[in-house]
């Protein structure tokens, strides 16, 4: 898949991003969306110790937490970039939270959601070249350099 | 696991800059609870008060080599809507005035802590 690398941070151009909250959205063929943390987010958090997602069936409005993530130096919510119902949770993260570090865009996805207003929510996000430029600006402004723990996916 | 969203947690912190290792966890728990969508207040009293004096918290390094200081933890708490409150009476223990406090901290009296302890769902005392 096409991607860009900015200060070692990977940005896939086929995903939608809520840049301020450092989350991504993949639109699936079955009408659901997959949501996860970005490479920038996992780098800022550092090696993640625990991740706890909300249960399937939970209704979420955009901006509310879908999971809580803990590292040695940071704890915080993963905020939903879309409104809808959680239909699936990545069970792997409960046993191996550092999957979020090693594979933030693939095996480390957080939840799948049945969106309620997807077109409207996607319109508020960035994708493609616009996402790359938005992240370039954020990464430079915040002085971020991404780090990847042992076993991380390589691009 | 049960979802405790909307519950109210009161964290009472009595440790300050003189015991750095006792300052990190209470703030970490407070932010974790806020991230779980609980309403969280940290009440600073006794020695806990001194970390709220301008210029003090940044001197306390908490997680080696990560850049995390007591100041960054207090900021993370405020960024996550954790309410920070300080005991009025304990300010005088440290010869502090309201002007000495960092931004974002409110002062409450002793009767308030009693009301809050009774009102909140759970109190964590450190």
pLDDT by residue for chain A (155 residues), tens only, comes to: 799 999 999 999 999 999 999 999 999 999 999 999 999 999 999 999 999 999 999 999 999 999 999 998 899 999 999 999 999 999 999 999 999 999 999 999 999 999 999 999 999 999 999 999 999 999 999 999 999 999 998 87
Contact (CB<8Å) A52/B3: no
Q: Does residue B25 surpass a pLDDT of 70?
A: yes
Does some domain include residue A7?
A: no
Six-digit token string for A26: 């993949």
The pLDDT score that the predictor gives to residue B34 is 96
Does some domain include residue A112?
A: yes
CB pairs under 8 A between A and B: 34
The pLDDT score that the predictor gives to residue A74 is 92
Chain A hits for B35, Cβ within 8 Å: 65, 68-69, 75-77
The pLDDT score that the predictor gives to residue B1 is 65
Q: Residue A118 belongs to a domain with what CATH number?
A: 2.40.50.100
Residue B4's pLDDT band (boundaries 50, 70, 90)?
Answer: confident
Q: Does residue B117 surpass a pLDDT of 90?
A: yes
Dist. CA A145–CA B4, nearest whole Å: 36
Does some domain include residue B52?
A: yes
CA distances from A126 to A11, A19, A61, A129, B15 (A): 11, 8, 19, 8, 44
**Tell me: the pLDDT tens digits for A129-149?**
999 999 999 999 999 999 999
Say if CB A42 and CB A152 are below 8 A apart.
no
Does some domain include residue B2?
A: no
Is A54 within 8 Å of chain B by CB?
Answer: yes
Does some domain include residue A94?
A: yes
Residue A118, phi then psi, degrees to nearest 5:
-60, -45
- Which residues, including other chains, have CB under 8 Å from residue B53's CB and lie 6 or more apart? B94, B96, B100, B101, B102
CA distance B31 to chain A (A): 7
Contact (CB<8Å) B68/A73: yes
Is A75 within 8 Å of chain B by CB?
Answer: yes
Mean pLDDT, chain B, integer: 94
Q: Which of A33, A29, A37, A30 is nearest to A10 (CA)?
A: A37
A62 lies in which domain range?
Answer: 15-139
B64 lies in which domain range?
Answer: 8-125
The angle, 0 to 180 degrees and rounded to 10, between the axes of the packed helices B24-35 and B70-79 is 20
Does some domain include residue A109?
A: yes
The pLDDT score that the predictor gives to residue A68 is 95
CA distances from A17 to A50, A55, A66, A82, A84 (A): 23, 23, 16, 11, 17
SS3 of B46, please? helix
Chain A hits for B63, Cβ within 8 Å: 72-73
The reported pTM is: 0.88
CA distances from B116 to A43, A47, A73 (A): 38, 36, 29
The pLDDT score that the predictor gives to residue B50 is 97
Name the domain count of chain A: 1
Where is average pLDDT lowest: B3-7, B26-30, B104-108?
A: B3-7
Chain B hits for A64, Cβ within 8 Å: 37
ipTM value of the model? 0.81
Q: Which of B125, B121, B99 is nearest to B6 (CA)?
A: B121
Dist. CA B19–CA A143, nearest whole Å: 32
The pLDDT score that the predictor gives to residue A154 is 86
Does some domain include residue A145?
A: no
Dist. CA A124–CA B11, nearest whole Å: 37
B 48-77 near A (Cβ less than 8 A): 63, 66-68, 76
The dihedral built from the CA positions of residue B45, B47, B52 and B53, taken in this order, carries a sign that is positive
Does some domain include residue A70?
A: yes
Residue B28's pLDDT band (boundaries 50, 70, 90)?
Answer: very high
Six-digit token string for A153: 């996916």
Does some domain include residue B25?
A: yes
Is B1 within 8 Å of chain A by CB?
Answer: yes
Name the domain count of chain B: 1
Does some domain include residue A151?
A: no
Does some domain include residue B20?
A: yes
Q: Does residue B102 surpass a pLDDT of 80?
A: yes
Q: Which of B104, B102, B60, B53 is nearest to B78 (CA)?
A: B104
The pLDDT score that the predictor gives to residue B63 is 82
Is A55 within 8 Å of chain B by CB?
Answer: yes
Contact (CB<8Å) A76/B63: no
User: What percent of chain B shows pLDDT beyond 90?
Assistant: 90
Q: Residue B54 belongs to a domain with what CATH number?
A: 3.40.1260.10
């Amino acid at each position: 898949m096409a991607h860009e690398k900015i200060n070692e941070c990977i940005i896939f151009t086929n995903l939608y991003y809520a840049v301020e909250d450092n989350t991504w959205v993949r639109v699936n063929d079955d009408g659901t969306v997959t949501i996860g943390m970005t490479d920038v987010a996992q780098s800022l958090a550092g090696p993640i110790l625990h991740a706890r997602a909300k249960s399937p069936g939970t209704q979420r409005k955009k901006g509310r937490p879908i999971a809580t993530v803990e590292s040695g130096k940071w704890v915080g919510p993963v905020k939903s970039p879309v409104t809808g119902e959680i239909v699936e949770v990545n069970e792997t993260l409960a046993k191996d939270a550092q999957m979020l570090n090693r594979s933030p865009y693939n095996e480390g996805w957080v939840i799948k959601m049945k969106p309620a207003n997807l077109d409207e929510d996607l319109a508020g996000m960035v994708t493609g070249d616009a996402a790359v430029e938005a992240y370039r600006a954020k990464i430079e402004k915040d002085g971020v350099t991404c780090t990847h723990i042992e076993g991380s996916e390589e691009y | 696991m049960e979802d405790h969203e909307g519950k109210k947690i009161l964290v009472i912190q009595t440790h300050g800059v003189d015991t750095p290792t006792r300052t990190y966890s209470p703030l970490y728990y407070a932010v974790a609870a806020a991230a779980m969508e609980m309403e969280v207040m940290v009440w600073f009293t006794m020695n806990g008060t001194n970390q709220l004096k301008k210029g003090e918290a940044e001197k306390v390094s908490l997680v080696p080599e990560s850049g995390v200081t007591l100041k960054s933890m207090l900021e993370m708490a405020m960024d996550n809507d954790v309410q920070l409150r300080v005991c009025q009476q304990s300010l005088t223990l440290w010869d502090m005035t309201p002007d000495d406090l960092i931004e974002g901290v409110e002062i409450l009296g002793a009767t308030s802590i009693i009301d809050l302890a009774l009102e909140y769902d759970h109190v964590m005392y450190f």
